[in-house]
Amino acid sequence: MVEFLIVLLLVGALALIVVPRLRGRGPRNAQDAAVGELLVTGVSPRPDATGEQFVTISGVIKGPTVAEHVVYQRMVWDTADSWPSIGQLFPVQYSVKNPDNWVMFREQPPVDYPSDPQYGAPEQPYSSPNPPYSPPNPPYSPPKPPSNEPPYQPPRNQGPQEPPPLH
């Protein structure tokens, strides 16, 4: 029984380490993602070594849902490619809910299929065939005809009165 609990504990610890690495970075689904631009404001120096090296990039993301959001990230970069420089613009995909969760593209971002000419025109916003809702009018009450009677006035108190006779 104790051996089973130890194995279960080890499997749980391994899952806590492996699952976040398998999920990767960036937004989880397309509805949660937006495409914007990263303006590089800081970059680590280029190492002398060749091949893939770590680079730390800081910058400002600008997109449809954020005006300016400061971000930074450490990533792998091949030194054979041009090293990023301050002032350079890169397309990025970021989470609408958390702009700190972003992925940089070295080429153009993926095509959004609904606006791709191969798949037809982009969808138009939904417009209802019904007119917009307006509250109902108050119930109809016919106008009162004019009367020649004077308005009702309650009787004046004339002192004590005798009760009506009982039969």
Distance CA 97, CA 83 (A): 30
83 token code pair: 């090293």
Whole-prediction pTM: 0.49
The tens-digit pLDDT sequence of the chain (167 residues) is: 888 889 988 998 888 887 776 665 555 555 678 888 999 999 999 888 888 999 999 999 998 888 889 999 999 988 887 888 899 999 998 888 888 888 888 665 555 555 555 555 555 555 555 566 566 666 667 777 777 777 777 777 766 777 777 76
The total of other beta-carbon atoms located within 10 Å of residue 43's CB is 17
Domain ranges of the chain: 28-111
